[in-house]
Amino acid sequence: MSSGYILPGTFLLARTLYNRGMICTAEGRPTMSDEELVLCAQGGNADALDELIRRWYPGIHAFCCRRVQSDTLGADLTQDTFLKLVAALPRYRAKGSFKSWLFTIAANTCTDAVRRSRPTADLDELAEVLPDARAAGFAGQVEAGEAVRRALADLPDVQREALILRYYHDFEIEEIARITHTLAPTVKTRLWRGLRRMKLLLGEEWKE
């Protein structure tokens, strides 16, 4: 890392972590939290940045591929996401979880790509309660394979994004709202309508 990457005062925080035994080295990385790794990376430690990317690359790659329904484009958007991560990391402040912040970058990157390829209509709807039984039906088959993949591809983008974040990446409603820059009631509506559509598309393959 260049010296320009180091934030004023951040090196002292990283040094504090070091003194407390949270060592920013290859040996210490596996036991460190995301926030501790971020502090080390902001202090100029390249190994800490590498560990953050290694830790989150599989999840971000899976999200991007599912979000845009293309392995090739998903891989490109994953790379774009981590390039944006590196550029934005010096300005990162832990107001929420690092995971939510990183997935927000990924979601924005995917949304921009989808909008460039074809216009999408956003939903502005009233809140609806997400039926537990229907949610359980989808959660139980997210790994069911090609049928679910095809059904997801047929959903509107905003519904597909909400389902992927909720059932593949375990985000809560409020977190999804922050990531997608919308309101929690709208997220619930997107999930409810997406699950209803999935059930219709899957037919007898739907598992209650």
82-113 core/surface letters (b: 16 or more CB in 10 A; e: else) = beebeeebeebeeeeebbbbbbbbbbebbbeb
**Would you place residue 124 in the very low, low, confident or very high pLDDT band (cuts 50, 70, 90)?**
very low
Task: Say whether pLDDT at 101 is over 80.
Answer: yes
Give pLDDT, residue 138.
53
Q: What is the pTM of this model?
A: 0.66
**pLDDT exceeds cutoff 50 at 22:** no
Read off the pLDDT of each residue in 40-51 and give the average, rounded to a whole number: 89
Cα distance between residue 158 and residue 187, in whole Å: 9
Residue 96, pLDDT above cutoff 50: yes
- Domains with residue ranges and CATH for the chain: 3-117 (1.10.1740.10), 132-205 (1.10.10.10)
Q: What is the pLDDT of residue 145?
A: 64
Which residue type sits at 35? E
pLDDT at 128 over 70: no
Of 29 and 88, which is predicted with more confidence? 88
SS3 for the chain is CCHHHCCCCHHHHHHHHHHCCCCCCCCCHHHCCHHHHHHHHHCCCHHHHHHHHHHHHHHHHHHHHHHHCCHHHHHHHHHHHHHHHHHHHHHCCCCCCHHHHHHHHHHHHHHHHHHHHCCCCCCCCCCCCCCHHHHHHHHCCCCCCHHHHHHHHCCCHHHHHHHHHHHHCCCCHHHHHHHHCCCHHHHHHHHHHHHHHHHHHHHHHCCC
What percentage of the chain reaches a pLDDT higher than 70? 70
How many residues are given for the chain?
Answer: 208
Q: Please tell me the distance from the alpha carbon of residue 78 to that of residue 59, in angstroms, as a whole number.
A: 10
- The answer to whether residue 57 scores a pLDDT higher than 60 is yes
